[in-house]
Each structure stands twice: as C-alpha cells, then as structure tokens.
Copies of this chain bind each other. A is one copy, B any other.
C-alpha cells in the first residue's frame, strides 16, 4: 500500500545519487559515514545499498563496512557487474512497490533504534534501471529523500552532472548538497560550484582518492590513509553541519506551514471563522493518488521515531482534477518541453502546434459530428461563460433578439437548466444557476433562467431506482427500480416507455407556459450531463436529460421560426443551442470521452476542463459547432466573440493536455478489472443497454447502500457519492457528512488516511483514472471500517 515520504525528526535520511556510474558515490558515502561517526559518536550511522551488482566481495556495502564503523545493509545483490535490470533477469523479484515498501520499512527500523543518519546509495546514475527496469529516479521518488548528489569530476562531467541534476529536479527531488572529486585539469568543481550556487545548493569538492593499485593490500592501505586524512577536512565537517541545518529547516518549515498559511492565505470556498492552523493540511509533496501530508505530532518527543509525513488518499482527486495521478513524470516532461519550446505565445491570430494538435485530438476524441471549433480559456467557469456568450448570441441573431446591451434595449434572454446545476464561480457562470447557498450573498448574482426539477437515479438498499422529485410524482411517474445501472442508461429502450411520454408532456407544458404565457425568452439549454457535481453529486435520470434536449430541438412552435426561409444546413442547431458542461463529467471521468454520449445527444457547444490536462495546470476548451460559430461572423470587430484571456491556449497547458488526453484514451486495458467486476455475469436486458461501470466495486457499493446512516449511494466511473441521512434539511450547509469525513481523515489503519470532501450531507470519493485496483480496494476497506 501507499509508500510514505521518508522524514523523521530523529533520523536524517539521505539518498546518494551519482551523475554517472563510477563517480565515487561509495567513497563519498564512506567519507560521510566516518565523519558522522566522528561528529555524533552517540548516534547511529547506517548505510543502505538496496540493489548492488558485481562481485559480492567487491560490493559497495562491504567497502563501507571495511572503511567505516557504520552498520551496512544490502537488500538485493547480483553478481554480474551490469545494470540491475539485466543482472536480475534470471531471478523472480517482487514487484517494485514491495521492494520500495521493504526499503521504507528498513529506514523505519533505523529510526526506531536511535537518532542518527542513514545514507541510501543508489546504483549507477540517476536514471539507471532498477531490477524491474524502472528508472531509479522514478522508482525512489515516493520516498522523496533529500539527495546527496555526487557530481562527475571527469571530462564531460559538467554535462552529465547538470543533466542528471535536471532529471532529479524535474521529479521534485530536493538536492541537499553536491560532492565531487577535485580535478585540476578539468576543473569541473569550479564550474559546478557556480552552477549549483545559482540553485541555492552548496558544492563540496574533495581530494581525489588514490589511484587503484594491483596489490589489494597496498590498495587497502592507501584507501585507509585517504579516508583518515579526508574525513577530517573542514569541507566534510561543513557539509555535515549544513545537512543537519537543512534537515532541521525542512522539519520546521513543514511543521510551521499551516501556521504561516493561516496568516496569509485566503482560502477558496472556506469559512475562515471555523479555521485554525490545526485544520490546515500541510502537503509536503504528492505522488499517484496520495498526498504526503504533515502528521500532527502534539505529544512531541515520544513519537520521534515515527515519520513526520503520512500518505493521505486524495479522495476528491484534488477537486476533481486528477486523471493521471500526482507528479506524473510524463506530464512534467510535456510541460517542460512546451515551456522550453515556446514559453507562452499570444494566441489571437497566431497558431502553435500544441494548440492545434490538442483541438484536433479533442474533437476526434469526443466524436460529436456537430463540434468543429475550439475556443480556449483558463478554467471551467470562464469556458462556460464563453459557451453562454456563444449560445445566447446564436439564438439572438437567429431570432432577431439582437438588442444593444449597453442601451438596455434588448430584452432579457435567460437559459434553461436543471435545479442544482453549478457551472462556476465567475458571475456569468453563477447566473446560470438557480438561487442557492452558493450565491445568496454575492451582491451581483442574479439567476437568469428557468431550472427544471428532474428524477434522480440512486441505489437504495441494493437496488438502482429512478426517483421523481417530491411533488412531481403525478407528472413524471412514480419511482421505479431497475435491474442494473446499465438498464437505467438504456435510453434507446426506455424511449419507448410511457415514462418517456410523461417526461415529454411535462417538459412541453412547462416550456409552453414559460414561453407562451409568461413571455420568457431562453437562449440556450445548459446541462451537466449525467452527474451534477457541485450540486451534490446527483445522478440525473439520463432519459430526462435526453428528452429535454429532444423536445427543445424538435418543437418548432416553441421558438419562432428563423427569419431566413432557406432550409437549415445539416448540423445546424434547432430550437435553441444545447450546451453541455462536461467540465466535471467529461474526458473519461465516467469512462467515456464525452459524457453527453450517455444521453444520446450531440450538443452544439460543449465545455471541457479539469481532467483535460490530466490534473496538472488550468486549461479549458469550449468546443462549438460551425453553426454557432457563424453567428459571430461579420465585418466589424463588434460582432466577434470579444473574449480572450492573456494566457489563452498557453503552450504548456495545450501540450500537457494533448499528452493527457492520449494517455486517458489508452486506459482501456488498465480498467479491465473494474469493468469485469461490474459487467461480468450480468445479463443485459436489451441489445441497446450500454456498459456502465465504476472504479468502486459493485459489492462494496451494494453494501454501503445498506448501511444505517446511508440514505443512498451512486457510483459511476471514478465517482462514489454517499448520501447520508440528513434530518435537518439544511442542504449544502448540512454538516451530516462531517463526522464521517473526520473519521476517514483520522483513520490510522496502516499508516495512511483519507482526505474526503463533502457537499452538504453527501460525502464523495473520487479516484484518478489511473488509480489501481489495489488502491481502490484498500480505500474501500477503510470506508467499510467507518461506515459499515
């Protein structure tokens, strides 16, 4: 299970990385061991070589043991003096995660013995492969040990040292100090001292070791003399002092992070009145599905041997952004490539390859024949405002509503939506939501539109049901249960049901009342397809969303015919433009590129963000049909879509997104286990029944739905949402789920915990798209402990 970052107050643990093989890592480690023994006689000094290749008698740990008094360990030893991935071939080794776990356990053991220092020496260079073939820099990254970097003193060593440093740096390692041998000819130490100084890192150059002799005894004597002499040098002592200082500083910085934040940070969506430093989670780093968070240690000294950092499952996928896991090196590399090729280049009237490639890829992935144009922005809220501007203008132009907003001559045009929808925090996006706790105190908020109530899908006590909203049972039909979630999503089959007819009738009569009787104007239908996120993770009956869109598109009497009598070209929007807000549900959250495909509709405008960059940087894409685009064509600038942020289509975001979308599209194989769990053994009720599945196991979801405190559950794609009984009816301001949230966070099972977010009485969990079955099942285990 998750590996923790290795940080203890009493144990200083360093990882010795080399710029290349044969740069003197072991000699430097030996020197440091000796110097530490000398400096801290009462403390432990350990040397750990996880993987060693080459003859046992010449192995690095033997060398350290021979020339120092430190305790040494080697976990895997292969005789062949080649890279571990070749040397290990004849053997069957445990998977990477168990090896890393073993290393972490070994470090923890040292910490439990006494205060002291451990040096973990890697094999070869930073990217030398581990036995499984993973690069060491990636393999060891979860521990994120501070690095003692041994630079290369030889010809060419400036280059290999700088590159190796960059490889570590871009994986989020902190290089604590640099050591290398002094070489008067190549003088790499001089160049590199200056280079590392610019990165705030001190370099220590030491005398070269004696030249290797043929006679083992002489060689040993020469080395002994070398160690005796060099151990006592001021540089070595200084380096140890610096390491001690930096270790203390790291601990202190981590432990004061929350206090300092409490003074200067104004948090999003947070009532600071309830806040104290202890309620702020200090995040040291993150990896995969886990944060590495500062473990509160109120009792002080007694727990010194325990780690200061614990893995915390990122149960909201960091506000719904994480698709490919934290600190994904593929995304870091993509980001740095775009930064190095372009930085950011302005986008109005210009084009760069990442922006275009992403647009083409995205349009292909979402596979909606209507969508032909991509408009970039920075976040879902901005992207939704753009979508609204597009939709309203298209309707206004076609129906001749084109008033001048400045003079106030135009009549108000609103949107049609669903109750509980949420589209973002900027004002135009807020105005698309009905009045609620989110906007009650926003001075300029003004809901503009009409919001339909709708039947909800949920699992209650083991059964999937479609439940009409209170008071609408007569119009929309009574609650109904289904054999599977797939059957609920079988829109094709359900379209022939009498329920579909009631939906149609209800929608039509409501629209006729609003438009014909109340003389209201609507310029767009705006929907989050399938799941309403911020509104409480509500699973909407897909048939209702399908029918709503269909009625709007196919009832010309609701909207006056276009003034132009010419027949509309194919793919032209009818009724009013349909906008799907796929910021939350789009791009494989539910296992499909476009979640509107569950509704069997092709929207005219569709908005993607969050998962778009796999979870690294903000970016949003609003895709639109040519038919909507054409409403903005004209001669002057005034009729253009006058929207555009400075960093529109920033190259870093576009390149990262291009890589992320490709990676997400290639996840089918990784999801096989999840799909199997949901789909195997179930008989489909009709040939049109789609495959609907979740990362969260079918049994687990069923069990949860029977729990005492649970009203209902939904699970689809990577989303799990648990609605708890809420007797206060406080909605978003309810605190029903807070007790569960607290228990998950304070769970100490296996040294990790869960950070979950709540929306009123709903507690949800969300994994990244790359989360492993092992991780998900382990989280389910903790949930069972807490809720069942």
Is A437 at the interface (CB under 8 A from chain B)? yes
User: Are A647's CB and B448's CB within 8 A?
Assistant: no
23 contacts between A and B (CB under 8 A): A20-B160, A125-B160, A166-B167, A172-B342, A266-B622, A268-B643, A269-B640, A269-B643, A269-B644, A273-B640, A283-B345, A283-B350, A314-B346, A322-B343, A327-B343, A332-B336, A335-B339, A379-B382, A405-B442, A426-B428, A616-B650, A616-B652, A617-B650
Is A233 at the interface (CB under 8 A from chain B)? no
A residues 56-104 touching B (CB-CB < 8 Å): 81-83, 85-86
Is A109 at the interface (CB under 8 A from chain B)? no
User: Are A444's CB and B164's CB within 8 A?
Assistant: no
**Distance A644 CA – B253 CA, assembled complex (angstroms):** 26
In the complex, per-residue mask of A416-427: 1 if CB is within 8 Å of any chain B CB, else 0: 000000001111
* Contact for A268 among B435, B440, B648, CB less than 8 A: B648
Is A493 at the interface (CB under 8 A from chain B)? no
User: Are B446's CB and A405's CB within 8 A?
Assistant: yes
**Nearest CB of B to A272, in Å:** 6
Is A331 at the interface (CB under 8 A from chain B)? yes
**Nearest CB of B to A768, in Å:** 10
Of A374, A408, A615, A643, the most chain B CB neighbours within 10 A belong to A643
Chain A: residues with Cβ within 8 Å of the partner, total of 184
**Nearest CB of B to A609, in Å:** 7
User: Are A645's CB and B355's CB within 8 A?
Assistant: no
**Distance A733 CA – B635 CA, assembled complex (angstroms):** 11
Given contacts A332-B340, A344-B616, A645-B381, contact A427 B425 (CB under 8 A): no
Is A694 at the interface (CB under 8 A from chain B)? no
Pick out which of these stretches binds chain B: A126-134, A234-242, A719-727.
A126-134
**Distance A404 CA – B443 CA, assembled complex (angstroms):** 8
A residues 167-183 touching B (CB-CB < 8 Å): 167, 169-173
Of A328, A341, A410, A622, the most chain B CB neighbours within 10 A belong to A341
Is A523 at the interface (CB under 8 A from chain B)? yes
**Nearest CB of B to A741, in Å:** 11
**Distance A746 CA – B260 CA, assembled complex (angstroms):** 53
User: Are A340's CB and B271's CB within 8 A?
Assistant: no
| Chain B residues, Cβ within 8 Å of A83 | 155, 158, 186, 191
Q: Which residue of chain B is the closest to A350 with respect to CB atoms? A: B281
| Chain B residues, Cβ within 8 Å of A436 | 406
Is A140 at the interface (CB under 8 A from chain B)? no
| Chain B residues, Cβ within 8 Å of A126 | 159, 163
User: Are B265's CB and A359's CB within 8 A?
Assistant: yes
In the complex, per-residue mask of A102-121: 1 if CB is within 8 Å of any chain B CB, else 0: 00000000000000000000
Given contacts A21-B155, A372-B264, A428-B427, contact A439 B340 (CB under 8 A): no
Pick out which of these stretches binds chain B: A384-392, A466-474, A507-515.
A384-392
User: Are A339's CB and B332's CB within 8 A?
Assistant: yes
Is A329 at the interface (CB under 8 A from chain B)? yes
User: Are B389's CB and A162's CB within 8 A?
Assistant: no
**Nearest CB of B to A427, in Å:** 3
**Distance A648 CA – B609 CA, assembled complex (angstroms):** 13
**Distance A280 CA – B379 CA, assembled complex (angstroms):** 25
A residues 281-302 touching B (CB-CB < 8 Å): 281-286, 291
Given contacts A169-B337, A342-B327, A446-B405, contact A321 B646 (CB under 8 A): yes
**Distance A169 CA – B339 CA, assembled complex (angstroms):** 10
**Nearest CB of B to A537, in Å:** 15
**Distance A291 CA – B618 CA, assembled complex (angstroms):** 24
* Contact for A616 among B125, B128, B339, CB less than 8 A: B339
* Contact for A160 among B160, B413, B618, B639, CB less than 8 A: B160
7 interchain residue pairs of minimum CB distance: A268-B644, A172-B341, A125-B159, A427-B428, A406-B435, A21-B156, A172-B340
Q: Which residue of chain B is the closest to A609 with respect to CB atoms? A: B646
Is A637 at the interface (CB under 8 A from chain B)? yes
User: Are B187's CB and A162's CB within 8 A?
Assistant: no
**Distance A348 CA – B644 CA, assembled complex (angstroms):** 27
Is A261 at the interface (CB under 8 A from chain B)? yes
In the complex, per-residue mask of A637-665: 1 if CB is within 8 Å of any chain B CB, else 0: 11111111111101011000000000000
Given contacts A163-B160, A652-B616, contact A272 B640 (CB under 8 A): yes
Is A373 at the interface (CB under 8 A from chain B)? yes
A residues 332-376 touching B (CB-CB < 8 Å): 332-333, 335-353, 355-356, 359-360, 363, 372-376
**Distance A343 CA – B290 CA, assembled complex (angstroms):** 11
Is A197 at the interface (CB under 8 A from chain B)? no
User: Are B281's CB and A159's CB within 8 A?
Assistant: no
Given contacts A159-B125, A160-B160, A642-B438, contact A405 B445 (CB under 8 A): yes
Pick out which of these stretches binds chain B: A455-463, A626-634, A673-681.
A626-634
User: Are A346's CB and B319's CB within 8 A?
Assistant: yes
Given contacts A440-B404, A442-B389, contact A166 B166 (CB under 8 A): yes
Is A203 at the interface (CB under 8 A from chain B)? no
User: Are A156's CB and B128's CB within 8 A?
Assistant: yes
**Distance A58 CA – B94 CA, assembled complex (angstroms):** 50
Given contacts A156-B22, A351-B258, A442-B389, contact A373 B640 (CB under 8 A): no
